Structure formats: structure tokens, C-alpha cells
Amino acid sequence: MAGEAVREVVIVGGGSAGWLTAGVIAAEHRDRNGPTLRVTVVESPDVPAIGVGEGTWPTMRDTLRRIGVGEAEFVRTCDATFKQGSQFIGWVDGRPQDRYSHPFSLPQGFGEVQLGATWAARGDEASFAHLASVQPHLCDAGRGPKQFATPEYAAVANYAYHLDATALGGFLRAHCVDRLGVRHVVGHMEGIETHDNGDIAVLRVRDQPAIGGDLFVDCTGMRALLIGAHYGIPTTPVDEALFNDRALALQVPYAAADTPIACQTRATAQSAGWIWDIGLSARRGVGHVYASAFISDDQAEAELHAYIAASGGAPAHQLPAARRIDLQPGYRRTPWHRNCVAIGLAAGFVEPLEASALVLVELAAARLAEEMPTDRADMDLLAARFNHTFAERWQRVVEFLKLHYLLSRRDTPYWQAHRAQDSVPQALRERLQLWRHQPPSRADFPRSEEIFPSASWQYILYGMGVRPQPRPARRTEDPAQAQARFEEVAALSRRMLPALPAHRALVEHIKAHGLPRL
């Protein structure tokens, strides 16, 4: 076994995670003559996709380009629109004017000038993000992040996507099978056979021949049939820090065909959770994420329908029943065990705030594709490194999401509980102490592939009302330089707003005419 080459990769489970992983591996392992590694996806016809992960990070552009997908084709097939960040409404204290942005674009002059101290010294009501970045102004005006003539995947302003997650799985399946040579087996897995050393050898699949492989990827969602049910690798719960354990999801039609499409995810705080609002071209995806310990399902659904009605949606009796999704906030510290790697919900899930689910799939698939073991002898070494990296990434996600909650001044029991110090991870408490005087920086997050760079932490920290306390002057905190950057943002906004199309106009143009290829 030790010297056997890895030639067959078997992915169990389709959906976004399975087909993204298949596409990334298959695209990486091929030459002029075709695939150099055989990739098989075993997809059960009995298990529907969850289909609510409708927000992505800008990394998705590189992932789609990497596997050879055309952006215009993707936009058409997946009802995709452009996401330029997130807007948080009511998170600080719930007043009518309580809203701030987390844009994807870095603050102006990031890495050269620190803007936080000068922003805090102004003492006015201008938000940090609006002073530091053009992107919130584009979102407020409903502008797209590129022009009609901007090539595929290129950007005027940094962007990700909102998309129909169910359509994404089908779109990627067709691409992987038709263009990348991935083998697709439709059948329900009924059993696992192992080698003497404990490695998975063969999958027994209903109405199909047994499927053997060298490396198996568990993309079976929260069922985690390989890593959990077979190997018993436990999940590390994070419900002491993040309380949300349920979600109610609805698809809400627009009031009119020409209704503007929001180009940022809107997250609106509620009494015991928050509501996401994602704009696709044909509909909105709206859902309430909440903690069942603080609110009943009926109350949560009432808050959801009240939000939909107040935001221009149909009344409750004209909408279908909301779909309830049970969440189990936690992650596996050992997602790679023996010759089995868990990716997607099988590896973990905390909650959909800040769209971390799909980006973790992308990062895991890319890491596996780039460091695919040559033979079994390398596998345990690579697994240890993979597990260490992703345990750190999951913990960082937990800390980043917790930051959104613990700084709130809302006064319901749910929000009060989030401020309890014993619910705050120790590493986050230590950083917050340092951040009283200095901004989040690369020293806090030294990895080159941080999901949330230090700029993201600044946007949340300052958006939630934290203002840096005075300290001795630093060269990078020169108020004159910072003010010059604020003026650059204002000037850029004046130039870019009339030059960029409305978001809906951009999407409709792409669907009708496509985009130039680089």
C-alpha cells in the first residue's frame, strides 16, 4: 500500500462542493493529451442539494477561470449577479440610520497609510467605509462593478457573485463532464469496503458496479458519510461563541421586472438573529438565521415575513412556506483522515454570515489539487499539513463572525449573551485589547491566503462603532496623508458613478451580448 500511486480520485456527493472540487482537481491534473488523474463523482439521486449558499467571495472569479468556465455563460445559467460586499443594517444599536458596509475593495492607500485614526479624529458621522473606499458609494447608487466592455473576470471595482446555488451545481456538473472528462456516476452509496490498514478501498453503490479509488473526497454535506459516519471523526462545536442553529429560507419575486438589483448582500439584525437578502436577476433570496434558544420558529417566521413586506415583497399568504434548515455550528479539526478528505459541509459549517462556506470549499479544493499526493506514502504528511491549515482557518472564521455580534449595543437577551466574555474566543479578546490603540494589520493575520484580510477586520471594527484611542504618532498615520486618501476616494466616486452602468442593466447586457474575452 505505502508505495501505490494515486491515480483515482472519487468524490462522493455532488452539489456546489462536489462539482467545484471535481472541476478544480480535473483542471489542474491534465496535459495536452487530456486528464492525468481520473476523477469520479458519485452523486445520489435521492439527496437534494441544500441550495441556499447564494453568496461568494471574489476568489470565485479565479476559481471559475481556473476550471475554464466563461463568465457570461455562468451569469446566464446560474442567474448570477455581482456582489461588491455586504451591508449590515441595525447591527450596532438598531436606530434607523444604523448601517455600515464591508466592501471587497481595500481602503485607499492600504498598506501605505492607516486611515482609522484620522477618521476617528474627525468626530463626524461619516462612516469609515464611505471615506476609505469608493465601493460603498457604488453600492448605494446601484452601480455594477464593471462596464459593458470590461472583459470577462476583469473588474473596475472588486467583485464576487450572488448566484442560484442549485443551478451552480448543475452548471458545474455539465462543465466537468463535458469539458474536463470527469466521470459521473448516479447512484446511492450503500456501503464501504476497506483495506487491511483502514483505508477506504471500494464504495458499494446501488445499481452500479463497485467503485474503487486511491483518494476519496467526502462532499456528502452534513451527513458526512465517509469522514463522520464511517470514520467517526468528531465535529468541534462552536455554539459557545456562535449561537445560530436554524435558518428559514424563501425565494421572493421582485415587485416588477425592472426592480433594481442590490449589488451587496444585505444583512439586517433581528431580535435573535439576522436576515439575509440577496438579489438575483429573477428573484431575491431571503432568509432568517436565528438561535432557537432565544426565539421560537413561529416568531422567527413572523419576523421574516415582516421584513419581506417592509422591503417591498409580497405578503405572507402569497408566498410559499419557508424552508427550515437545521444548522450544527462546528467544524472537523481533522478533515483529512487516512485516504479520505472532507470538503464543504462535511468538513464543517458555522453560519452563512460573510459567505464563508463556498470560499472554504474553493480553498480546500485548490489545496488538494495543488498538493495531490503522488503516492500513499506522502498522504499522511500532506494530511497533517492540510488539517493544521484548515483548523486555523475555521477558527479564524469563528472569530471574525463573532466580532460582528459582540460589539453590538442591541439589548435583547440574544445580543446581550453575545457580549458575555466567556462566549468570546481568547484570541479575539487579545486582539481587541491591542486594537484599542492600533488597527488590525498583517501582523495579526500573517497567512498569505487569509479568508478575511486585516482590511475586513477594520471595516467591521470601525463599522460597529469602535474608534481607535489616541497613541503616539506613526509615520503611516499622518493625518495629511490620510485626508489626501479621503479626497482621492471622493474624486474617484465622482468619476466612476456616471461611468458605470446600473447593476441590472449590466447583468441584462451580459445575458444578451456576453462579455469580451481576455
The Cα–Cα gap between 331 and 361 comes to 13
The Cα–Cα gap between 59 and 18 comes to 17
Enumerate the β-bridge partners of residue 200: 194
Nearest CA to 278 out of 302, 247, 300 is that of 247
Grid cell locating 434? 491591542
Largest CA distance in the chain: 72
Contact 169, 15 (CB under 8 A): yes
**Exactly one of 83, 146, 402, 511 is catalytic; which is it?**
83
The Cα–Cα gap between 10 and 211 comes to 8
User: Over the Cα atoms of the chain, what is R_g?
Assistant: 23
Grid cell locating 394? 475555521
The Cα–Cα gap between 16 and 22 comes to 10
The Cα–Cα gap between 351 and 361 comes to 14
Contact 435, 466 (CB under 8 A): yes
The Cα–Cα gap between 344 and 222 comes to 9
Q: Which residues contact 80 (CB under 8 A, 6 or more apart)?
A: 74, 161, 162, 163, 164, 280, 507
Grid cell locating 464? 460597529
Nearest CA to 264 out of 409, 140, 361, 98 is that of 140
Q: At what angle do helices 59-66 and 356-370 cross, to 10 degrees?
A: 40
Q: What is the dihedral of CA 500, 505, 511, 515, to 10 degrees?
A: -20
The Cα–Cα gap between 20 and 16 comes to 6
What is the helix (H) or strand (E) element at residue 221, kind and residue range? none
What is the SS3 assignment for 462?
Answer: helix
83 a catalytic residue: yes
| Residues designated as active site | 83
